[in-house]
Amino acid sequence: MSTYTAPTKDMAFLLHEVLNAETADIPGYDEMSPDFTGAVLDEANKIARDVLAPLNRVGDEEGCSLENGVVRTPTGFKAAFDQMREGGWTGLDCDPEFGGQGMPYLLGTAVGEMFVSSNMAFNMYQGLTHGAYSAIHAHGSDEQKATYLPKMVTCDWTGTMNLTEPHCGTDLGLLRSKAEPQGDGTYKITGTKIFISAGDNDLADNVIHLVLARISGAPEGVKGISLFIVPKYLVGKDGSVGAANGVSVGALEEKMGIHGNATCVMNFDGAVGTLLGEENKGLRAMFTMMNEARIGVGLQGYAQAEAAYQAAVEYARERLQGRAASGVVNPDGPADPLIVHPDIRRTLMDQKSFTEGARALTFWGAQLIDRAHRNDDKEALGLISLLTPVIKGFQTDKGFEACVQAQQVFGGHGYIEEHGMSQFVRDARITMIYEGANGVQALDLVGRKLAADGGKPLMGFFEMVKAYIKQHEADAELKESLLDPLMAASRDLQAAAVYFMENGMKNPDAALAGSTDFLHMFGHVVLGYMWARMGVAARTALESGTGDAAFYKTKLTTGRYYAERQLPATKMHLARILSGSETVMALDPEEF
C-alpha cells in the first residue's frame, strides 16, 4: 500500500519564493504570510494523509452501488466527507457572504492538490459542487444565490454538471433535453444525461444539478441552449428540503477507474428547474463551470502523478535488485536498491521534473485567476484563458504518462492491484477525457485561443518569456542550464504559431493537424518558463544563504534535467507540425 504525504515544502516555496504571494498586490493576498499558509497546508496535509489516502483503495475496490434508486458511496466516505465539511475545507475559497472563508483561489488550489492526490474519486464530490457553486455565484439571481450557495459552500448539498447526452458530448449543439416553461418562472426539464460525475450520493442532503436543455421553440444548435438549476429534492422558500423532484439515477456506469465516484445516467422526467442566467445563453454560464473544471482536471493530472511518484520513489529506495554499474553501493545486502540504476532514476526524474513544473504552472494559473477576479485584470484573464487548454491537456497527458512510469518502477508488482499503482493509472486515465477530451483542448487552443483578442495574449506570453530571459541572463549558470533551452523551445513554438497563421487561413486542416503537437509544445515551453522562475528563486535563496541549501540545489538539478531531457521535444513537435496535413487527410475513411 502506498502512503502519501503532501509536498508542503514545495508548495511553500512556490507560494512565497516564486509567486511572492504576500506582496503580489492582489486583494486578500496580504494575509498569506508563510506562517498562515504553512498552518493551513499542515492541517490539510493531515486530512489528506490520515483521512483521505487510507480510503483511496477502499473506494476503488468497493465502488459505488445503486440501491433503490439511491447511490451508496464506499465505506468511510460519509464520515470523511463530514470531517471535510466540519473542518470548513469545502468553502475555503468561497465568498464569505455565503459562508465561505474567502481565501484566495491560489490557496484553495494548493489544498485541493492534496485532496486530489490522496483520493481523487472522493474529492470529485466537492470539486463538482465547487464548480456548480461558481456558476450560480456568477450567473444566479439574488434569490438563487441565497437559496443554494450557503448549502453548497458547506457541501450540505452537492452539485453536478449535466451536459453530455448519449449521442453528444463534445458537440453540444446536438443536445435534445427539453425545458417547458410553466408560466410561474419555473421550467419542466425532460431528457437523459450520461457520464454525470457525482450524479447522486449519500453524502449530502440534496444534489443540485446544473442541466443544459432547450427551451421549447429555441433556435437549433448551440444558440438555443439554456442552463437550469434542477435540485434532486425541491427546495422550499425557507430553504427546507421538500419533495423529490422528477430526477432519477438510471444506472451507474461500470468504468476503468474512479470507482469511488458515482458516474450516473441521469433521467429528468418533467423535473422542476429554474433558469440560471439568460435564456439561450446556457453555454456562457456553463463555461464558468467548465473553465474552472478544466484547471481542476489539469490539477488532477499532476496530482495523481505526485501520489504515484511518491510510491515509486519509496519502492525504488527499498526494493533490492541488481548491482549499480558504477560500483556496489549496498555491499552488505544481497543487491543494491533499484534507485541506483540510471534508467530507474531517469524515469523518476521525468516524473519529478514534470510534477514540480506542473504544480508551479497550476499555482501560477490560480494566481492569474485571482488577479483576474480580484483585481479585475483583463490581461491576466486573457493569459489564463490561453493557458487553460494547456493546463488541462498537457498536464493530463503527461500526468497519465507519469503514473504509467511510476507503475513501471514496480515491475510485476505494479500490475497487480495490491500496491495501488494500477489504480493511479486507471484513475488518471479519465483526466485526458472528461471536461473536453484533450483533442478538444488542442482545438480550443489552436482554433480559438491563439487568435483571441487579436492574438494579444499569445504575443504577451512570448514577450513575457523573452523579457524574463533577458532580465536574468547575466547569471551564466542559469543562462546555460535553463534560459537558453527555454529560448530555443520558445522559438520553436513561435515558428509553429507563424506556420499556423500563414497556412491556417487558406487551409484550416494544416493548423488542426498540428494542434495536439502545438499543445504539447506549449506545455513544454510554459513548464520551461516555470522552471526558469523556480531556478531564479533557488539561486536567489542560495546566494542569500537562507533556508535549506540542499532543497534549492535539488531544484536547480531538477530544472536542468527538464531543460535537457524534456525541452528537446519541441523540435520533434515542430517537425511534425511543419509536415502539414497532406498525409493526415489523404486517406478515404474506408482506407483506414
Residue 164 or 201: the one with the smaller Cβ distance to its own copies is 164
Find the shortest distance in angstroms from Cβ 322 to its own copies.
5
CA distance to 30, 209, 279, 548, per residue, from 266 (Å): 44, 10, 23, 52
Residue 433 C-beta: closest distance to its own copies, Å: 6
Task: Tell me: does residue 584 bind its own copies (CB under 8 A).
Answer: yes
When asked if residue 153 is in the footprint of its own copies (CB under 8 A), the reply is no
User: In this complex, which beta carbon is closest to its own copies, that of residue 43 or of residue 61?
Assistant: 61
Closest CB to its own copies among residues 84, 538: 538
Check residue 547 for interaction with its own copies (CB under 8 A). no
Contact 66, 105 (CB under 8 A): no
**What interhelical angle do 515-544 and 484-504 show, nearest 10?**
160
**Nearest approach, Cβ of residue 348 and its own copies (Å):** 6
Q: Are strands 247-252 and 241-244 parallel, antiparallel or unpaired?
A: unpaired
Q: Round to whole Å and give the CA distance between 63 and 69.
A: 16
Alpha helix ranges (H) inside 119-237: 120-139, 142-153
Q: By CB under 8 A, tell whether 439 contacts its own copies.
A: yes
Q: What's the sign of the alpha-carbon dihedral 123, 311, 109, 256?
A: negative
170 is a site residue for its own copies (CB under 8 A) = yes
Which of 150, 104, 158 is closest to 132 using CA atoms? 158
Contact status: 236 vs its own copies (CB under 8 A): no
Tell me, what amino acid is at 78?
Answer: K
DSSP track, 293-349: HHHHHHHHHHHHHHHHHHHHHHHHHH-B-S--TT--S-TTSSS-BGGGSHHHHHHHH
**Among residues 194, 225, 391, 534, which is the contact residue for its own copies, using CB under 8 A?**
194
Site for its own copies in 283-342 (CB under 8 A): 313, 316-317, 320-322, 325-326, 334-335, 337, 339, 341-342
Around 405, how many Cα atoms within 13 Å sit in the side-chain half-sphere?
26
Contact 231, 194 (CB under 8 A): no
Q: How far apart are CA 210 and CA 274, in angstroms?
A: 10
Instruction: Tell me the β-bridge partners of 265.
Output: 251
CB 132, min distance to its own copies, A = 19
CB-wise, 83 or 579, nearer to its own copies?
579
- Closest CB to its own copies among residues 273, 559: 559
**Selected range binding its own copies among 30-38, 285-293, 346-354, 536-544, rule: CB under 8 A:** 346-354
- Contact with its own copies (CB under 8 A): which of 9, 46, 223, 571? 571
Q: Which cell is 519 given?
A: 499543445
The residue among 105 and 522 lying less far from its own copies, judged by its C-beta, is 522
| CB 75, min distance to its own copies, A | 18
Nearest CB to its own copies, comparing residues 94 and 196: 196
Between residues 71 and 106, which has the closer beta carbon with respect to its own copies? 71
SS (H, E, C) 524-573: HHHHHHHHHHHHHHHHHHHHHCCCCHHHHHHHHHHHHHHHHHCCCHHHHH
Phi-psi category of residue 266: left, alpha or beta, with phi > 0 → left and psi -120 to 50 → alpha: beta
| Count of residues engaged in binding its own copies, rule: CB under 8 A | 94
**Nearest approach, Cβ of 333 to its own copies (angstroms)?**
10
Q: Which helix (H) or strand (E) element contains residue 33?
A: none
Of 256-275, binders to its own copies (CB under 8 A) are: 256-257, 263
- Of 306, 311, 367, 353, the closest CA to residue 113 belongs to 306
Nearest approach, Cβ of 440 to its own copies (angstroms)?
9
Is 474 a binding residue for its own copies by CB under 8 A? The answer is: no
Does 549 engage in binding with its own copies (CB under 8 A)? no
Which one from 417, 435, 480, 590 is the annotated catalytic residue? 435
Contacting residue, 157, 228, 400, 461, with its own copies by CB under 8 A: 400
> Distance between terminal CA atoms of the chain?
44
Piece in contact with its own copies (CB under 8 A), picked from 38-46, 124-132, 363-371, 406-414: 406-414
Query: Does 512 interact with its own copies (rule: CB under 8 A)?
Result: yes
Contact call for residue 378 and its own copies (CB under 8 A): no
Q: Per CB under 8 A, which region of 30-38, 115-123, 235-243, 407-415 contacts its own copies?
A: 407-415
With CB under 8 A as the contact rule, the residue among 354, 364, 434, 461 that binds its own copies is: 434
Annotated active-site residue 435? The verdict is: yes
395 contacts its own copies (rule: CB under 8 A): no
Query: Contacting its own copies (CB under 8 A), which of 217, 243, 544, 592?
Result: 592
| Contacts of residue 457, Cβ cutoff 8 Å, sequence gap at least 6 | 379, 382, 383, 385, 386, 449
583 scored as a contact of its own copies (CB under 8 A): yes
The Cβ-side half-sphere exposure at 433, using a 13 Å CA radius, reads 13
Decide: is 210 part of the binding site for its own copies (CB under 8 A): no
Cβ at position 20, least distance to its own copies in Å: 25
* Contact call for residues 415 and 396 (beta carbons, < 8 A): no
Out of 43, 171, 269, 502, name the contact with its own copies by CB under 8 A.
171
Residue 410 three-state SS:
coil
* Active-site residue list: 435
